[in-house]
Amino acid sequence: MRILVTGAAGFIGFHTVNHLLKSGFQVTGLDNLNDYYSPQLKLDRLSELGVTDLDASANEPVSSVGHRDFQFIRMDLLNFPELCDLVRTRDFDCIIHLAAQAGVRYSLENPHSYIKNNVEGFLNILETCRHLSTPRLIYASSSSVYGGNEKLPYQESDPVDDPVSLYAVTKRSNELMAHTYRNLYGIRSMGLRFFTVYGPWGRPDMAYYTFTEKILQGEPLPVFNHGRQSRSFSYVSDVVEALNKLLHRLLHDQGDPVKILNIGGAQEIPLMDFIAKLEKALNRKATINFLPAQPGDVQSTQPDLTQLHHLIGELSLTDLDTGIGHFIDWYNRYYNRKQK
């Protein structure tokens, strides 16, 4: 079966492509390789998939073949005619849409990028599905849509009308757009609300990544809301395993799929406990710089996974100590190699 993965050079996108290839799918990956964070990290992820002939500074579309069942195409989803031309010629069985302008805090600095990439880009995906008979879609939403909700754990049926960041607004708009296109045009879609995904090959703007860097460099950690935060951390392999099982269900089950699902680790971890685990794994003590709450942040996140378990059974989730260990092992290998 043929799958299109957008954001294929991104963190979750890279791991998703890797998993799909191991599962026997033919995969086409799209990414514009933007510079929100290091394009070199994105190129190195693609290199792991066998794509080695790309130049991050080039602007023109580039098509490269890596693994025998993987083709990567550098493309911006805002180029709707180009996207349509691709989908028209491939006859994809499903689109997995993971491309987005990520980051809650950056949405305070560059709001236009979020509307363009997360709203207009998603509209282009939906319109492509509509006009070119690709009726199945899995797309990334976010736990950020729960916003100011104080009831934990978050359930998919909870109200989500109190967003605290523009990033959350764009992700909630995706859910509403997908709902409308399902009703109007029969596009069968699943929106996955991811909860703080971490692990090897991760995003350098995420707290666990920057904390690791600063602890190793002896720099103070900026800890907002004076450390009074907690998160449900989701190891990337667990997230991708769940996504793969949902894909199989969407491809083979003729029933109406669940529209929105929480995807994440079930346990809520206080931020200061998480930092202590990092300190232990790195065998170094962190210097903490406590700061006031940051606009756009929420105090706690925790998913109710009942609907997910009902669809695909319970997952064997990676415990946080093991996941942190895997990330640090990768981090040390990756940056030691870069420094040689």
Beta strand 288-290 with 221-223: parallel, antiparallel or unpaired? parallel
Catalytic-role residue among 139, 154, 167, 235: 167
Q: How many CA atoms lie within 13 A of 79 on its CB side?
A: 15
Q: Using the CB atoms, write b or e for 301-320: b if 16+ within 10 Å.
A: bbbbbebbeebbeebebbeb
What is the C-alpha to C-alpha distance for residues 279 and 292, in angstroms, rounded to an integer?
23
- Residue 279 structure tokens: 């300190």
Element spanning 97, H or E: strand 94-97
What sign does the dihedral 329-30-139-135 (CA atoms) show?
A: negative
- Residue 26 structure tokens: 């033919």
One-letter amino acid at 107 equals S
Dihedral Cα 167, 168, 169, 173, nearest 10 deg: 110
Long-range contacts at 332-336 (CB < 8 A, ≥ 24 apart): 334/44
Which residues, in sequence order, are CB contacts of 88 under 8 Å at separation 6+?
132
Active-site residue flag, 167:
yes
Catalytic residue numbers, as ranges: 167
